[in-house]
Amino acid sequence: MSAAEYEEFRDGVEAAQAEEPAAEIAFVKRHGETVRRLIDDGAHVIVGTDSPLVPPAIYYHLNLQAMVRYGVSPYEALRSATAEGARTLGLSGDLGSVEPGKLADLVLVEGNPLEDVAAAAAVRQVVVGGAVRSVDDLVAGTEATAGTPAAAARARTASTVRNTVLPDVPQAPATERYWWHREEHANHSCC
């Protein structure tokens, strides 16, 4: 996030903490209970965000925490963020689990997210294509894996995703394509 985006995000958090948003809390609770029932009934659930409307990393972790708060185990929540997401995207051969021949991307966190899923957000280092990178490296955008076999596999996977054309998902009430790029949204919700 840019400094301005971060400040706006912090202001929103403070405003939400100052008032008790009962309707929003009830919505999240109903959503969490629905996710629990879906998993109990054998559905495949993946974690998502409202990106580009909200900061994706933050909301991704908040979704994991909400899932656990309303009955999903930390293991199931983490699986929905990894193996289930890869399966849904048709990328299980390259992503979603730690196995020989798959892309070796790991997140090293402080704590045990299987005991407290919030620990998944306490990232200390990552391993990308076999290279250990600090959070500072990631924020700075340093490229440490160019030219490696893992980088080539990552490029193949990205190409497959980019070349897959899916129909737009209707966005009611704003159904025009890429509505978040309209001028009134440009300062707070998108690139």
State pTM to two decimals.
0.67
Cβ-based neighbours of 112, under 8 Å, separated by 6 or more = 119
Q: Is the pLDDT at 163 greater than 60, yes or no? A: no
For the cut 60, the answer to whether the pLDDT of residue 168 exceeds it is no
Average pLDDT over residues 80-89: 88
Find all residues with CB under 8 Å of 86, minimum gap 6, and list them: 92, 94, 95, 96, 97
Please tell me the least confidently modeled range out of 114-118, 161-165, 186-190: 186-190
Tens-digit pLDDT profile for residues 126-151: 887 778 888 888 777 655 555 555 55
Low-confidence winner among 25-34, 93-102, 111-120, 182-191 (lowest mean pLDDT): 182-191
Mean pLDDT, the chain, integer: 75
Give, for 135, the enclosing helix (H) or strand (E). Answer: helix 135-140
What is the model's pLDDT at position 165?
A: 43
Question: What's the CA gap between 22 and 9, in Å, rounded?
Answer: 20
Please give the distance of CA 22 from its chain centroid, rounded to a whole number: 25
* Contact (CB, 8 A) for 107 and 126: yes
CA distance 161 to 92: 13
* Band of pLDDT at residue 154, cut at 50, 70 and 90: low
Has residue 26 got a pLDDT over 90? no
CB burial readout 103-120, b (16+ within 10 A) else e: bbbeeebeeebeeebbeb
Residue 85's pLDDT band (boundaries 50, 70, 90)?
confident
Whole-number pLDDT of residue 99: 87
φ/ψ region of 90 (left if φ > 0, alpha if ψ in -120 to 50, else beta) reads left
Share of residues in the chain with pLDDT > 90 (%): 17
